[in-house]
């Protein structure tokens, strides 16, 4: 190779190296710019996430909160491991939430606390709780009162405390007397939610007839009128209720509605008729004006034929019985029922009518017979009173032994069937 060719080859190699250095320099600059862009983007993301965490998490916690753990001090007293006061300070260091709540509390109608006095007892209550619970304390006229005196004749201290605590904590059980007192207090103060809650308890307890009587007597003793909701529950033990002293003290309207129920458990309509006579006879001078209204509830077309005849001929019994059966309108109704029986003998007793009664059979009642029994007899006043006297000793569960008249197990007058 000549010298000229060698020099030319060296120049070419030098030029190639210069070009490579230039390209490498460009590549290095571009890589540096890419890395700087990525670094700036990652730093912006880090700042955003940090600020987001600061807004979402008000304070940093090293360990999770557990309220179940506790610690013991030198005196042996146990306290929560986490200080509630410190927790509140961490959550709201500026106390803005507390101030806002205090402002809302003070701007509410009425003072923040109300005192109640009942004889020698005094209670301090939160006004907000009472305003939520009762419409009585939401009235404008009472908004600036601080002390209320409870009428002890209507609201007992025990009932008021139970009513107030009901809004704050559950109550599992109440005695019957206490339930009635709380119910009366709830009605007095207009606590509709508590009224509904008490009614659910009364409704569940009164499903059993003998308990319904206890509820009725207890409610009446404190001036509550629950007859409308309890009358139908007394149908199964109607005769036992008639045998009680409480029946004689019931008001006229209640007796009228009770005798008019189709669900009354009786063996004959004559028992309904004589129950009305018994109630009228207890205080006849004061009740004589209600006689026709009470007899209006008796369904004369359901009376047995022999009973209708005895009503017209006037049964033996107290003077009240003669006065009632001697009234022209009563005799007219009895005569009309006899005419209807003559027209339709097959409808005698009308046991299957929709407006009938719940016909029962009690083997301990000497006058109880099936409607097809030949031994059926007229029920007089004395026989009815003797049966009621026996019911007073029969026990509260006697109604469970009664059978409906169409029960196949009912065997009326077995000796009569043998012959």
How crowded is the C-beta side of 302, counted as CA atoms within 13 Å? Answer: 22
Say what the pLDDT of residue 397 is: 80
pLDDT per residue as tens digits for the range 215-273: 888 888 888 877 777 888 888 889 999 998 889 988 899 899 999 998 898 988 999 99
196 located within any domain: no
Residue 167 in any domain: the answer is yes
CATH of residue 109's domain is: 3.30.710.10
* 169-189 confidence digits (pLDDT tens): 766 677 888 888 889 999 988
280: pLDDT strictly greater than 90:
yes
32 falls within a domain: no
Query: Is residue 240 one of the residues assigned to a domain?
Result: no
- Checking if the pLDDT of 165 tops 80, the result is yes
The CA distances from residue 385 to 43, 65, 101, 382, in Å, are 102, 75, 69, 5
Q: What is the mean pLDDT of residues 44-68?
A: 48
Q: Is the pLDDT of residue 418 over 50?
A: no
Domain membership of residue 110 (yes or no) is yes
Residue 126 covered by a domain: yes
Strand ranges across the sheet with 265-266? 265-266, 358-361, 403-404
- Specify the pLDDT at position 112: 54
Q: Is residue 215 part of a domain?
A: no
More confident residue, 300 or 50: 300
Question: Is position 149 within any domain?
Answer: yes
- What φ, ψ does residue 148 adopt, rounded to 5°? -120, 140
Number of domains in the chain: 1
Query: SS3 of 257, please?
Result: helix
Q: Cα 158 to the chain's mean position, in Å? A: 20
- Are 80 and 70 spatial neighbours (Cβ–Cβ below 8 Å)? yes
Confidence of residue 388 (pLDDT cuts 50, 70, 90): very high
β-bridge pairing 358-361 and 403-404: antiparallel
Range of the domain at 143: 101-174
């Amino acid at each position: 190779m000549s010298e000229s060719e060698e020099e030319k080859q060296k120049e070419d190699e030098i030029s190639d190296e210069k070009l490579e250095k230039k390209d490498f320099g460009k590549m290095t600059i571009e890589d540096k710019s890419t890395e700087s862009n990525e670094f700036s983007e990652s730093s912006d993301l880090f700042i955003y996430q940090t600020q987001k965490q600061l807004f979402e998490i008000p304070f940093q916690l090293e360990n999770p909160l557990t309220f179940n753990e506790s610690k013991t001090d030198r005196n042996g007293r146990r306290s929560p491991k986490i200080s509630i006061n410190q927790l509140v300070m961490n959550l709201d260091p500026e106390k803005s939430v507390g101030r806002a709540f205090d402002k809302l509390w003070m701007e509410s109608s009425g003072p923040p606390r109300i005192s109640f006095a009942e004889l020698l007892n005094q209670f301090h209550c939160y006004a907000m709780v009472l305003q939520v619970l009762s419409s009585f304390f939401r009235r404008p006229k009472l908004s600036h009162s601080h002390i209320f005196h409870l009428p002890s004749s209507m609201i007992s201290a025990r009932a008021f405390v139970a009513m107030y605590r009901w809004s704050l904590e559950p109550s599992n059980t109440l005695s019957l007397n206490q339930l009635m007192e709380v119910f009366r207090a709830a009605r007095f103060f207009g606590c509709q939610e508590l009224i509904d809650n008490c009614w659910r308890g009364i409704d569940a307890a009164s499903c059993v007839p003998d308990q319904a009587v206890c509820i009725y007597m207890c409610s009446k003793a404190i001036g509550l009128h629950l007859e409308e909701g309890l009358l139908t529950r007394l149908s199964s033990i109607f005769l036992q209720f008639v045998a009680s002293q409480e029946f004689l003290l019931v008001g006229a309207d209640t007796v009228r509605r009770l005798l008019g129920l189709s669900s009354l458990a009786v063996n004959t309509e004559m028992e309904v008729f004589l129950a009305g006579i018994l109630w009228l006879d207890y205080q006849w001078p004061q009740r004589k004006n209600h006689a026709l209204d009470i007899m209006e509830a008796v369904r004369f077309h359901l009376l047995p034929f022999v009973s209708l005849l005895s009503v017209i001929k006037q049964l033996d019994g107290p003077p009240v019985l003669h006065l009632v059966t001697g009234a022209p309108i009563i005799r007219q109704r009895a005569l009309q029922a006899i005419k209807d029986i003559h027209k339709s003998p097959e409808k005698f007793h009308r046991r299957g009518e929709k407006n009938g009664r719940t016909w029962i059979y009690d083997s301990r009642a000497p006058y109880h017979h099936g409607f097809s029994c030949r031994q059926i007899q007229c029920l007089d006043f004395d026989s009815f009173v003797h049966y009621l006297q026996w019911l007073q000793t029969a026990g509260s569960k006697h109604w469970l032994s009664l059978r409906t008249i169409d029960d196949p197990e009912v065997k009326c007058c077995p000796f009569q069937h043998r012959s």
